[in-house]
Amino acid sequence: MFEGKEEMADKFEEIGDDHISSSAKTPLRADAFDITDQKKVELIQESVRDILNTLGMDLSDDSLKGTPKRVAKAFVYEIFGGLNPANKPKLSTFDNNYKYGEMLVEKNITVYSTCEHHLLPIVGKAHVAYISSGKVIGLSKMNRIVDFYAKRPQVQERLTMQVVQALQEALGTDDVACVIDAKHLCVNSRGVRDIESSTVTAEYGGKFKNQETKQEFLDFINLDTDFD
- Bridge partners (DSSP) of residue 131 are 103
pTM: 0.87
Query: pLDDT band at 197, cuts 50/70/90?
Result: confident
Q: Is the pLDDT of residue 183 over 80?
A: yes
Query: pLDDT band at 30, cuts 50/70/90?
Result: very high
Helix (H, G, I), strand (E, B) or coil at 199: strand
pLDDT the model gives residue 46? 98
| Residues recognised as catalytic | 115-118, 156, 184, 186
pLDDT the model gives residue 1? 43
Structural domains of the chain ordered from first start: 5-87 (1.10.286.10), 93-221 (3.30.1130.10)
Give the whole-angstrom CA distance, residue 52 versus residue 50. 6
137: enclosing H helix or E strand: strand 135-137
Residues 6 or more apart from 163 whose CB is under 8 A from it? 126, 128, 145, 146, 149, 178, 203
Give the whole-angstrom CA distance, residue 54 versus residue 47. 11
CA-CA-CA-CA torsion sign (217, 201, 178, 74): negative
